[in-house]
Amino acid sequence: MTAPSSAAHASAPVPSPWVLSAFWFGTAFLWLMLLTIFMPAHVVEFVGESVKGTYLGLLSAIGAVIALVIPPLVGAHSDRTGQRLPYLRLGVGVNLLGLAVMGAAAAALAGTPGFWIYALGFVLVQLGNNYATAPYSALIPQLVPVEQRGRYSGVMGMLQALGQLLGAVAGIAIGTRGGDVLPFALMAVMLLVPALITLRGVVERAEAAAPGVQGPTMTWRELFAHAPFKWVFLTRVLFALGQYSVQPFLQYYAADVLRQRDAVMSSSVLLACIVLASIFSAFFGGRLSDRLGRKPVIYFAGTLMTAAALLLLVAPGYVAALGLALVFGLGFGAFTSVDWALGSDAMPSAASYARDMGIWHVAFVAPQFVGAPMGRLLDWGNAQGGNLGYTLVFGSAAVFFMLGVVLVRNVPESIHRAALTRAQGD
């Protein structure tokens, strides 16, 4: 197994963490606005209230299929070519095309036929974004020295949270009064500009480091037999299952459980509380993980997220739910602050960074599959009365979070030290 040598790191300045993470900021803005604010509202407009959970869950499942297949394949091709940024350029272009199709469908079409055109646009968005993500994900382990990965991961977590915060604020500002074209135009701009910042800022460093990296490439079986990767992958799956069990249906929760008249506005404020708190914990979490290790931060994060998911079931009103959103955000920010660092530490070979990071990324996006069964569970439970569907969905999320906390104990304690030793020894 190999890691980038210290000479490789010294051959050119390491990109600023803010420049390197800019694309992730734009992606976070996009997904927050699309998945949690405007897509749920558009689904209701297309298919109606009675089957909204089922159709929204279907879109989540479609996205999960794409996220399961594309990143590892594109990542492996990126490793063979020794390039990262051309994939980012093409992926962003396809993503923008998909947003245009979705916006046109939302503005001009109606009913089930309109929904399927809308779904086609969503497929393009997913294809483009996932095409870009695997090669982009390889940049942290490829370019950043091990001893700085916690700081870089923390900045990435902060910018992710800031992107989500701005997405929530934009949702509040636009609401249902901004029409159907404006949200998609804004998402396109907020994706393109940060992508250009990353493309221009890391081009020389990436091109200097990517070609010529040699080392063994593990088979998939060997990769998952590598204990650090296996357990990091599994715990990431569990945290993602918890997130995607609830996230698509937060707007419906605001309307049906919290009895908010403007569900788009109310859910946007809930999301703003989550991301405000996550900015605070992300700022400290990454740096602390460089000194204390990654696992203590994960323990803290998962416990808070579990507690908040359970307490939201008995929140006496909207104000209490906002307080719990802050608690959840502290946990979510702490998790994202070490997420990339933990994944980077677990990579076994520099020769296959993009492929392996693409597989690792699958652990976060493929659990979108859970949206389909959770959507059906939500509709079935609510049909029984008493908002049973939300109890089942939020309770499932809490179970996933707690399992993630329990199983992260299996990640070897030495994972960070071993990665640091490999980098120093090469």
Tokens of 62: 């479609």
- CB burial readout 232-260, b (16+ within 10 A) else e: bbbbbbbbbbbbbbbbbbbbbbbbbbbeb
pLDDT score, position 216: 58
Q: What Cα–Cα distance (Å) separates residue 327 from each residue in 47, 270, 312, 345, 395? A: 34, 11, 11, 28, 17
Residue 324 near residue 401, CB atoms below 8 Å: no
Residue 40 near residue 378, CB atoms below 8 Å: no
Kindly tell me the burial class for residue 54, based on how many C-beta atoms sit within 10 Å of its own C-beta (0-12, 13-18, 19 or more).
Answer: middle
pLDDT score, position 424: 47
Kindly tell me the burial class for residue 319, based on how many C-beta atoms sit within 10 Å of its own C-beta (0-12, 13-18, 19 or more).
Answer: exposed
Q: What Cα–Cα distance (Å) separates residue 376 from each residue in 7, 41, 123? A: 54, 17, 21
pLDDT score, position 97: 97
Residue 151 near residue 20, CB atoms below 8 Å: no
Tokens of 35: 């998945």
What does the CA dihedral 390, 395, 396, 400 come to, rounded to 10 degrees?
140
> CA angle, corner 289, sides to 285 and 293, nearest 5?
145
| Rounded CA separation 227/69 (Å) | 23
Closest by CA to 150, choosing from 422, 406, 343, is 343
pLDDT score, position 212: 45
Phi-psi region of 219 (alpha: psi -120 to 50; beta: other; left: phi over 0): beta
| Rounded CA separation 143/145 (Å) | 7
pLDDT score, position 116: 94
Domains of the chain, start order: 6-425 (1.20.1250.20)
What does the CA dihedral 45, 28, 68, 122 come to, rounded to 10 degrees?
30
pLDDT score, position 213: 47
DSSP code of residue 14: P
pTM of the predicted structure, to 2 decimals:
0.71
pLDDT score, position 4: 40
pLDDT score, position 335: 85
pLDDT in tens, the chain (426 residues): 333 433 344 444 677 888 888 999 999 999 988 987 888 888 988 988 878 878 888 888 888 788 888 888 888 888 888 788 889 999 999 999 999 999 999 888 888 888 999 999 999 999 999 999 878 887 877 777 767 777 787 788 788 888 988 887 887 788 655 567 889 999 999 999 999 999 888 865 555 544 444 455 677 787 888 888 888 888 888 988 998 888 888 888 888 888 888 887 888 788 888 888 888 887 777 777 777 777 888 888 889 999 998 998 888 889 999 999 999 999 988 887 777 677 777 777 667 777 777 787 778 777 777 877 888 899 899 888 888 999 999 999 999 999 988 888 887 765 544 444 444 444
What is the sign of the dihedral through the CA atoms of 175, 181, 183 and 186? negative
